[in-house]
């Protein structure tokens, strides 16, 4: 399984964000107790005033080589568990995520 699903105009990505970390980093894929996969991401930003969400969008856009405007928070604005929609070529985005997460977690 993966933490993302393909959509006609991109992908939907399940993320578990950990704010107030020592550094911004994509840690890899984790599997929750219920069997769902999440992309684990650490962020230095605090979870207040949307700072962590903004940092998450910035980090994922840079890692995937897309513009920030192509990464949108679909759900979970006030939660550690979030869903993001990333607009672009689904195959290219999935390949980039596979490369980023290979060997992590």
Domain 4-101: assigned CATH number: 3.30.1200.10
Tokens of 96: 């980039």
Per-residue model confidence (pLDDT) at position 91: 95
pLDDT surpassing 90 at residue 2: no
Per-residue model confidence (pLDDT) at position 22: 96
Q: Report the 3 state secondary structure along the chain.
A: CCCEEEECCEEEEEEEEECCCCCCEEEEEEECCCCCEEEEEECCCCCCCCHHHHHHHHHHHHHHCCCHHHEEEEECCCCCEEEEEEECCHHHHHHHHHHHHCCCC
The mean pLDDT value for 58-85 works out to 97
- Residue 102: pLDDT band (50, 70, 90) is confident
pLDDT surpassing 80 at residue 103: no
Considering the entire predicted model, what is its pTM?
A: 0.93
Domain positions in the chain are 4-101
pLDDT surpassing 70 at residue 41: yes
* Distances from the Cα of 74 to the Cα of 23, 33, 68, 71, 99, angstroms: 24, 23, 14, 9, 24
pLDDT digits (tens, 9 = 90+) for 19-36: 999 999 999 999 999 999
């Amino acid at each position: 399984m993966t933490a993302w699903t393909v959509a006609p105009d991109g992908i939907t990505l399940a993320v578990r964000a950990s704010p107030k970390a020592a550094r911004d980093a994509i840690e890899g894929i984790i599997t929750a107790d219920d069997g769902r996969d999440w992309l684990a991401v650490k962020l230095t930003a605090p979870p207040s005033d949307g700072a962590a969400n903004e940092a998450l969008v910035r980090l994922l856009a840079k890692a995937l080589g897309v513009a920030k405007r192509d990464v949108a928070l679909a759900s979970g604005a006030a939660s550690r568990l979030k869903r993001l929609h990333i607009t672009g070529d689904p195959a290219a985005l999935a390949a980039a995520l596979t490369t980023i997460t290979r060997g992590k977690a």
